[in-house]
Structure 1
Amino acid sequence: MIFAMLAAASAFLVQSPDKSIEVQLSTDGSHYTVQRGGEEIIAPSPLGITPANAAGYSDLLPVEARRDHIKRMVPLIATKAASTSEDYNSLVVTYREKTSLHRQISIEVRAYNDGIAFRYLLPKGQAYAIKDELTGYRFAYDPVCEVTDYTSSHENTWRAVPVSQLDSAKTLDMPVVCASASGRTHFAITQSNLAGYTGSAFQARPDGFQVHLTPHPGDAGVAVTSADGLSSAWRVVMMADRAGDLISSHLIGNVATQPVGDFSWVKPGKAAWDWWSGPTAGEKPTMERFKRFIDFAAESGFPYFLIDAGWAYGSTPCCNADPKTDITRPEPNIDMPELVRYANERHVGLLLWVHWQHIAPRIDEVLDTYQKWGIKGIKIDFTERDDQEMVKFFHDMAEATARRHLLLDMHGAYTPAGLERTYPNYITQEGVLGAEYNKFSDRITPAHNVRLAYTRMLLGPMDYTPGGFHNGTPETYKTREIMPMTQTTRGQALAMYVVYDSPLQMVSDDPSAYEGQSGFDFIKTVPTAWDETRFLDGTPETFVALARRKGNTWYVGVMTNADGRSVTLPLTFLGKGAYTAKIWQDGADANSVVSTPKTIRSDGSLSLDVKPAGGAVVVLTPK
């Protein structure tokens, strides 16, 4: 009787708690639709998975439907807010084949006020091999989407393209960010919680996107294997009124596995860094050079110094993992215990760079050595894969470092998918076309920097590595490997520390670049983790203005593309009363900022003149 009632339903409906968003799931589990505010966002789109060595699931009948409503406050550690409200309605529909196989598959759907998520569940007690997913995103209109090509390093530029004009021969990276037909809804399509699964990309179609799973290395016919049951990654669609409103969403983290245990020891902050300003192959490691960066970090109040490539015994130039390199020993002229003692005495923690192929075969031995030395964290580089094996390596490293109270920063990494929520010590990562490219190309344009806030940054922390103080504009920029320039002004250099999410934030230039320089006073004091984040104004094609709160103090950051502009920001996000505003704006040339104080009120507005390729920052303190 219950089975007959389920099968007779025209569709399964899940609404967000505020009823603005709804998902319809077909009774046979073959497709779904998404609406927001009564407008269709995703047209009927396919669902399902493709087994690797068996027939696809077919003739499905619903045999069970379970609903739930969850509402709770979730405390957060070292991120863009102190807490988030997790509020959603869920539906899990279990289907069984009418064929003689009688296989079962469940689809779990969650509807939040800021988006939806769904995943596939296969029952325990059986092994599985999955080749791909049938999951798609179809549109009845032709949205213009911000997209970036999928590459193994996940370091590429973004562009706005109508879906119908995308090249179906190329795959696209996470996320794709689009607007609805009316423009009233902006949405980002991505993934979360890859544990036990694999990464994926989007294949473009004239009417939308198709999920394509990353296969096992050397076996294009298998993407995922599991010995006992299977939970797929979550397919996530974030939604908001404006493109910038997506920035403050916690949806990706909310559908991820939540942390277990005490992570109060995770300490966010800024780090001096010894690689960006020097030669690409790395400078010769010496105690004197490392102590110079430690002294700089201590004098500036930074809690960390990241020692990049070249410190380990037998190190070779970038980028292959030489088997003769031993990352449990420093070069002969480096006394690591003395260096740690010197840094600790100055309240600076040391972070070490390693190649992933050097640490993967001996994780416990390496991390135990670093813990014994007194190292505070590690940066792992050149992973450049997102298959199931590499996803497992990321999770293994997050767990192993957390157990030893070490911070983790992954480079050459696939884009974030919620792992930083599960392990808050996984404090930042790359997977972004960042400032390192200033050393050898002109790809880091002002327009690219603005677009990052509306695209890649939606997914989680990004180790863009800001802080370049040899500033310029696209007209004055020159590519150089040592002491590189930027195509953006000093004002934008400062604004990155407010706009870009990274609880471990690099101060990338050489210490000498900051001596007596305007604006460095702001970098020394700006936080890297926040109690609240609010989007103020802008679009991906023009500028971005964000406000972030730490305690009672608000920080505002504005970054523009190659066009200068006057930006007027409402101050309604402030508490009532008067505030002291300290403003840093672009000065007479690209390497200067002008700092001015003024008094403002929350019922007023703030006007900033931002020069081409420029930016501004404001610190607002209650009077």
Structure 2
Amino acid sequence: MKNLSKLFVIVLMMTSVTISAQKEFSLLSPDKKIEVKVSVDEKIEFSVLKNSKALISPSPLAMNVNANVMLGVNAKVKNTKTNSVNKILQREVRQKSKEVRENYNELKINFKENFALTFRAFNEGVAYRFETSLDGDMKVNSETYSVNFAGDYLSYFPEEESFMSHNERIFNPIMLKDIKEKQFASTPTIIDTKEGTLIAITESDLEDYPGLWLKGTAQNSLTRIFPAYVLDAQLKRDRDLMPTKRAEYLALTKGTRTFPWRIFAITNNDGDLITNEMVYLLSKPNQLKDISWIKPGKVAWDWWNFNNIYNVDFRAGVNTETYKYFIDFASKYGIEYIILDEGWYKLGDLLSIEPEMNVQEIIDYGKQKNVGVILWVVWKTLDDQLQPALDQFEKWGVKGIKVDFMQRDDQEIVNYYWKVAREAAKRKLLVDFHGAFKPSGLFRAYPNVITNEGVKGLENDKWESLVTPEHCVTLPFTRMFAGPMDFTPGAMVNVTKASFKPMFTQPTSMGTRCQQLAMYVVYESPLQMLADNPTNYYREPVCMEFLSKVPSVWDKTIVLDAKIADYVLLARQSGNDWYVGAMTDDKARDFTVDFSFLDEGSYSADIWQDGINADRNGNDFKKISVEVNKATKLNIHLAPGGGWAARVYSK
């Protein structure tokens, strides 16, 4: 018996040593296809595999804080905790769906140095974050974030020139080894292994910390670069607050906190990037008790079309009569909002209205017509007058604000987004951030943040020729992965790529009319713009049949066929109706639409398709109606730069 007791003690000691000395950890996704491996030794490294094939080779993680304290170097494991979650969430504001499945396995490694690393493995990808438990306030000097890939993969790299940026970039395909050390990009950035796997890199729950950017290494890796804390800045015009001196640290923040999630979405199906919800799932939960007042919808926008209405008996421009005309148009077609963009107030003072504008009269007129008014503002002016301006907007009956020209995502500006979202919500105001960095979870924490620019959208057609059909079919897999995307579609004058010329006051779009219509199905934005002027829309009643009915939020999304930078074909459900949208790059394409997503029964399908001459004249389209059911397989043709849109409803 004495010998048995000795043996038990020896086994217990061996077991304890094994547990306390463990330096290798493994975490599997619920479907066991994705594995995260974590190694803790002199440094902490993680690697990622899918189906036992390495995608990310061992890559270091660390954080330098306070007086050069390295969290993650010679760190000692204190304990670990695991957790699994599998539940259905109801979206506060529908985007791609009204329900989201949250299903992941979690590993949290607590270290004796008062920090932790949490890893989550989803079937759709992996993520990790730092967490610190330090007394008082903390200075973050740097964060070690390098991603070593298992091969020389292709990157869709939205290269930037400066941290002062609208983050409106082209996603240039470039091999990792060809990205030099001086080249850097905003996120999301997409990696294509060219062996059937895509990896989307971005972040979520970004708060009180600078945004993540990536730079090249001339090797099979990307490393981090962050905009440092701003010490001094110079204001140019009323909107461009240009940093003139930056600190040698990233952030001054609380010592006890969580840090942003570093996301790696992983898929063998390009279309899965469109339905991926990891940014939403890793965001801070909704902070608002009452969200019943948050109303998604479409909005008639003035700035892109330069208020170039015609066939009216008043002078068009930034004046009361013009906006009443916009309201009449919106009311006729059931469009929920109009925007008063730049020009309604005297720049530099939100409380000083231009004499040709009677904002209260416009808002009251809109109320009579069931059309809400959203006001454009320069972010810096709003910051200077935040409380009195928002109080005045609430008094007027404004429904939302479009906040423009931040152009930064250092700690100060990231915090500004949260402040505006919070203060706007107190007054039941929607927020649309323009001149903005990518969505990083704020749209869940504050659902009144209804949409977000940070995309090279239609407005660029006013001054350059970069919004090509190829760019337009790249966006659903890249920028839109991060969250709502205010591309501002809806051009009613459409030309081929060869014929396109930028025009500021009378802009056109590159590609076909039906590609513009399809964007309302393909592009996700709970506040969806109609960018052209009402007179042009009045001239196109057949297109308005579609634009007046297409929703801006969805109950379900099914990607039918998709290839990054080439084409997309998807179906979205809203109530009992389905909408189908297809877009192609510069190549004509043929698809077969499989309607097996429908329930039993007969349906009518109203279809807007490229006309026979759309390859020569982008305005050419044809509307047809056919009967379909779940057994229907319909052949469709898209012209170069073309599109296809359908509304499917019960007979």
TM-score category of the 2 structures, normalised to the smaller one: over 0.9
Matched, 1:467 2:480: no
Alpha-carbon distance, 1:597 to partner: 1.1
Please give the alpha-carbon distance, in whole angstroms, between the structure 1 residues aligned to 2:432 and 2:424.
Answer: 10
Equivalence map 1:100-499=2 (5 Å) = 103-150=113-160, 151=162, 152-180=165-193, 182-183=195-196, 185-205=197-217, 206-217=219-230, 218-260=245-287, 261-278=289-306, 284-312=317-345, 314-315=346-347, 325-499=348-522
Please give the alpha-carbon distance, in whole angstroms, between the structure 2 residues aligned to 1:226 and 1:287.
Answer: 46
Task: State the Cα deviation string for residues 162-185 of structure 1 (Å, max 9, x = none).
Answer: 1111122111111121233631x3
2:518 is paired with a residue whose SS is helix
Please give the alpha-carbon distance, in whole angstroms, between the structure 1 residues aligned to 2:543 and 2:123.
Answer: 39
Task: State the Cα deviation string for residues 402-426 of structure 1 (Å, max 9, x = none).
Answer: 1211100001101111111111110
Do 1:158 and 1:451's aligned partners in 2 also have CA atoms closer than 8 Å?
yes
Q: 1:100 maps to which residue? A: none
Matched, 1:595 2:608: no
Alpha-carbon distance, 1:232 to partner: 1.5
Equivalence map 1:597-612=2 (5 Å) = 597-612=625-640
Structure 1 regions of 5+ residues with no counterpart? 97-102, 316-324
Do 1:196 and 1:231's aligned partners in 2 also have CA atoms closer than 8 Å?
no
Please give the alpha-carbon distance, in whole angstroms, between the structure 1 residues aligned to 2:173 and 2:447.
Answer: 33
Equivalence map 1:517-536=2 (5 Å) = 517=540, 518-536=542-560
Please give the alpha-carbon distance, in whole angstroms, between the structure 2 residues aligned to 1:377 and 1:279.
Answer: 20
Match of 1:91 among 101, 107, 112: 107
Measured at CA, do residues 348 and 542 of structure 1 come closer, stay the same or move farther in structure 2, by a change above 3 Å?
Answer: same
1:428 is paired with a residue whose SS is strand
Please give the alpha-carbon distance, in whole angstroms, between the structure 1 residues aligned to 2:618 and 2:546.
Answer: 17
Q: May I ask how many residue pairs the two structures share in their alignment?
A: 605
Do 2:569 and 2:582's aligned partners in 1 also have CA atoms closer than 8 Å?
yes
2:229 is paired with a residue whose SS is coil
Please give the alpha-carbon distance, in whole angstroms, between the structure 2 residues aligned to 1:582 and 1:143.
Answer: 42
1:146 is paired with a residue whose SS is strand
Please give the alpha-carbon distance, in whole angstroms, between the structure 2 residues aligned to 1:45 and 1:279.
Answer: 52
Please give the alpha-carbon distance, in whole angstroms, between the structure 1 residues aligned to 2:56 and 2:503.
Answer: 46
TM-score under structure 1 normalisation? 0.94
Measured at CA, do residues 273 and 62 of structure 1 come closer, stay the same or move farther in structure 2, by a change above 3 Å?
Answer: same
Do 2:513 and 2:610's aligned partners in 1 also have CA atoms closer than 8 Å?
yes
Please give the alpha-carbon distance, in whole angstroms, between the structure 1 residues aligned to 2:319 and 2:175.
Answer: 53
Paired residue type of 2:216: A
Alpha-carbon distance, 1:199 to partner: 0.6
Do 1:519 and 1:593's aligned partners in 2 also have CA atoms closer than 8 Å?
no
Alpha-carbon distance, 1:30 to partner: 0.9
Alpha-carbon distance, 1:546 to partner: 1.6
Paired residue type of 1:107: L
Please give the alpha-carbon distance, in whole angstroms, between the structure 2 residues aligned to 1:396 and 1:65.
Answer: 35
Please give the alpha-carbon distance, in whole angstroms, between the structure 1 residues aligned to 2:62 and 2:386.
Answer: 36
Alpha-carbon distance, 1:533 to partner: 1.2
Do 1:110 and 1:118's aligned partners in 2 also have CA atoms closer than 8 Å?
yes
Paired residue type of 1:265: W
Please give the alpha-carbon distance, in whole angstroms, between the structure 2 residues aligned to 1:71 and 1:329.
Answer: 53
Alpha-carbon distance, 1:437 to partner: 0.8
Please give the alpha-carbon distance, in whole angstroms, between the structure 1 residues aligned to 2:148 and 2:600.
Answer: 46
Do 2:307 and 2:533's aligned partners in 1 also have CA atoms closer than 8 Å?
no
Paired residue type of 1:149: E
Task: State the Cα deviation string for residues 237-289 of structure 1 (Å, max 9, x = none).
Answer: 11222122111111101011010312122111110111111189x98521111
Do 2:66 and 2:141's aligned partners in 1 also have CA atoms closer than 8 Å?
yes
Do 1:3 and 1:63's aligned partners in 2 also have CA atoms closer than 8 Å?
no
Measured at CA, do residues 221 and 557 of structure 1 come closer, stay the same or move farther in structure 2, by a change above 3 Å?
Answer: same
Alpha-carbon distance, 1:538 to partner: 2.3
Alpha-carbon distance, 1:48 to partner: 1.0
Please give the alpha-carbon distance, in whole angstroms, between the structure 1 residues aligned to 2:16 and 2:59.
Answer: 25
Please give the alpha-carbon distance, in whole angstroms, between the structure 1 residues aligned to 2:472 and 2:548.
Answer: 22
Task: State the Cα deviation string for residues 518-571 of structure 1 (Å, max 9, x = none).
Answer: 422111110000001121112123211121110121111111111111112322
Paired residue type of 2:75: L
Please give the alpha-carbon distance, in whole angstroms, between the structure 1 residues aligned to 2:50 and 2:632.
Answer: 33
Equivalence map 1:533-552=2 (5 Å) = 533-552=557-576
2:510 is paired with a residue whose SS is coil
CA RMSD of aligned residues (A): 1.8
2:280 is paired with a residue whose SS is helix
Please give the alpha-carbon distance, in whole angstroms, between the structure 1 residues aligned to 2:316 and 2:136.
Answer: 53
Matched, 1:618 2:631: no
Once the two structures are overlaid, the 10-residue window that deviates more, 44-53 or 271-280, is 271-280
Task: State the Cα deviation string for residues 126-150 of structure 1 (Å, max 9, x = none).
Answer: 3211122111211121111211113
Structure 2 regions of 5+ residues with no counterpart? 1-12, 231-244, 309-314
Measured at CA, do residues 208 and 577 of structure 1 come closer, stay the same or move farther in structure 2, by a change above 3 Å?
Answer: farther
TM-score under structure 2 normalisation? 0.90
Match of 1:82 among 63, 87, 98: 98
